Amino acid sequence: MLQTHIKIANRYLILETKKNLVNIQSLFNAFKYNKEIKHNTKNKLKIIIKNASKKSVKLSRDKKTLTITGNDIDNLYNPFNLIGILQATFRFVGFHSIKNNFFLLHGSSAIFNNKAICFADDGESTAKTLSSVECALKSGKYIGDEFCFLDENYKVTSYPLIPIHIRVRVKKYLKKIYKNKMNRIFNGVLRTKAGYFIQANNIFKIVNSKKLFAFVFVYFTKKQKPYFLKLNNKESKQAILKCVSAHLIKFFHPKLDRMQFIKEKDSVKKVHYEKKIIKQIKNTLKLNGNIEYIAQKIPCYRFYMNKPKDIVYLMKKAGF
């Protein structure tokens, strides 16, 4: 087995694969850490990826080793392999990084007016990726889709290797509104069972890390004209708790995932988290004090929109 030292967020890990899994090794080269890691070997986290007859994601009893298996696992042209490996890896890291105040956010982040905005999941909000793409089409700058970390200095960080996941109905909208730009972007991109996967650095300038200006939770409404609300402290804490819990909930309850590695299926249906599961995650990770502090530092907004293009109008109206 080949062992590679990697670092994701603020966690040091060992990646263990067979030498013939060259695509997976190439994928993880983005996280390679060449310096000697001065940590007790017993406390190092490990990710094992290997071929097997069935797809599976298993966590060891002590929660320090993650094992990902699958038939033809090295085929990263299969988006369920690529996203499945990244999902499991980031969620595994996110579970451990919370201890050092690094939070894995369930949200997509982009730059608007030189400000970093995270379009996030509060359990009911929607259009995270679409909103971040709308934003980046104006600024030309993107941070990351789906997997972003918030560090102890309130900087939001992501990795360029994470593709932007565009579902079919989102592509239709984008091509209708931004025809010339989208024709260029989607040229040569194959449709899969889960939609389209586009490398962000082929479209936008990637900003790897920037201090977060605001969380935005997007809703659609047909009853009123577009408007925004700035959340109070209690509302902000509830929304942020769900944002930092969502990936971990899916890590321990994979049936709640819309895009599932093991079953190779994707859904457009919104997933609702049971309150008891959120409470369990919160209590397990002792998130209360940390969430309070984040809510004091980073403002939270709800945007109520009639159509996706309203995002830019509301951001300007909110003073972003």
Per-residue confidence of the chain (320 residues) as pLDDT tens digits? 899 999 999 899 999 999 999 999 999 998 887 655 555 555 689 999 999 988 899 999 989 999 999 989 999 988 888 888 999 999 999 999 988 889 999 999 999 999 999 999 998 898 999 999 999 989 999 999 989 999 989 999 998 888 888 888 888 888 777 777 777 777 777 787 778 888 888 889 999 999 999 999 999 988 889 999 999 999 999 899 889 888 888 888 777 666 666 666 666 555 555 566 666 666 666 665 678 889 999 999 999 999 888 999 999 999 99
Cβ atoms < 10 Å from Cβ of 151: 18
Residue ranges of domains in the chain: 2-100, 103-317
Identify whether the C-beta of residue 141 lies closer than 8 Å to the C-beta of residue 132. Answer: no
Return the structure tokens found at 78.
């299969």
Spell out the residues 6+ positions from residue 206 whose beta carbon is closer than 8 angstroms to its own. 141, 142, 143, 160, 200
Cβ atoms < 10 Å from Cβ of 155: 14
Task: Tell me what pLDDT residue 66 has.
Answer: 96
Report the alpha-carbon distance of residue 215 to residue 6 in Å, rounded.
29
Task: Tell me what pLDDT residue 273 has.
Answer: 55
CA dihedral 142, 190, 194, 207 (to 10 degrees): -10
Return the structure tokens found at 254.
């994979």
Task: Tell me what pLDDT residue 275 has.
Answer: 62
* Residue labelled with tokens 């038939």: 71
Report how far apart, in Å, the C-alpha atoms of 320 and of each of 97, 140, 217, 301 are.
Answer: 30, 16, 14, 11
Task: Tell me what pLDDT residue 14 has.
Answer: 92
Return the structure tokens found at 133.
């793409």
For 195, which DSSP code? B
Return the structure tokens found at 298.
């980073």
Identify whether the C-beta of residue 83 lies closer than 8 Å to the C-beta of residue 55. Answer: no
3-state DSSP call for residue 75? Answer: coil
Report DSSP letters for 83-148, one per residue. Answer: HHHHHHHHHHHHHHHGGGT-EEEEEEEEEETTEEEEEE--SS---HHHHHHHHHHHHSEEEESSEE
Amino acid identity of residue 311, one-letter, is: I
Residue 165 pairs with which residues in a beta bridge? 197
Q: Does domain 103-317 have CATH number 3.40.50?
A: yes
Taken as a whole, the chain contains a residue count of: 320
Task: Tell me what pLDDT residue 279 has.
Answer: 64
Burial letters for 257-275: b for 16+ Cβ neighbours within 10 Å, e otherwise?
Answer: bebbbbebebeeeeeebee
Task: Tell me what pLDDT residue 172 has.
Answer: 83
Identify whether the C-beta of residue 139 lies closer than 8 Å to the C-beta of residue 152. Answer: no
